[in-house]
Amino acid sequence: MEKLERPIIVPWDFTGVAENAFQHAVNISKTVNREILLLHIVSDEKEVDEKKKELAVSSEKLKKEYGKKPHFAVEQGSIFKTIGDYSREHKAEMIIMGTHGMHGAQKLFGSKALRVVVSSRIPFLIVQDKPVKDKFESILLPVDFRKENKEQANWIYYLSRNFNARFTILKSKARDRGFRKNILSNIKYIESFLKSHDVDYEIVLAKGKRSFKKEIVEYAKENKIDLILIMATRNINLADYLFGAPEQYIIANPYNLPVMAINPRPLVIQGGFSATGG
């Protein structure tokens, strides 16, 4: 396979939600001028050749339907690790993944999507439905007390520059004094960044009547937001998957809203070792 420069990777499982993700990839590829690569993961190396044949058929079909012929690859491994590893190795622009969201087993599908998302520092765009618009014109940026919120700044600039999008910062409401201090610090940092890069934005205070994750999704739905941009929790663990991290609910939101998830950098302690042992 020819070497692609920062491809948009679409995890491909021959389903309708994967095709929805491909349609988003086509739209975004026109804006950022990148090639699309379908990535299929198999558990047994014996399946590789057969799946490559099936992918070749899918590639031709997608070209006829959407006017863009994707490249494709088959890798042996686990979706929870191999998608992230492959995307990092090939310096992907982003990963656009379809998910079943809230239909049926909410925790199962939401957990699976979140486990794949946290496998890589490359941003994930998680979609449940086909695109409503050609571009993301309005983006919701929730801000809470976590320090990693500040790491979203570069991706705010990326989305603003490429899509000329308007940002709404949804400020979490907290009773705890320490949390309020951290939220204010995050807001000041992000607002300073937005002003210095001439990004169009507004700040809205969450009502605080429901959990913040639900207020995020409800606000996005009520105000017809095109994309929710979130920062994943640093060092997320098995308990978060089982009991439901906020990101899990947002990713598998009941309104099929697209969500872009960014993973924070690992914490670094003295001696240069990351907090995750890497």
3-state helix, strand, coil in the chain (%, to 5): 45, 20, 40
Q: What's the gap between Cα 103 and its chain centre?
A: 19
pLDDT by 10s per residue, the chain, length 278 = 567 999 999 999 999 999 999 999 999 999 999 999 999 999 999 999 999 999 999 999 999 999 999 999 999 999 888 999 999 999 999 999 998 754 433 333 445 667 777 767 788 999 999 999 999 999 999 999 988 888 888 888 899 999 999 999 999 998 899 999 999 999 999 999 999 999 999 999 999 999 999 999 999 999 999 999 998 765 555 444 444 567 888 988 999 999 999 876 654 433 333 333 33
CATH code assigned to 8-98: 3.40.50.620
- pTM of the full predicted structure? 0.88
One-letter amino acid of 228? I
* Domains of the chain by residue range: 8-98, 138-255
d(CA 134, CA 163): 10
- Which superfamily, per CATH, for 138-255? HUPs (3.40.50.620)
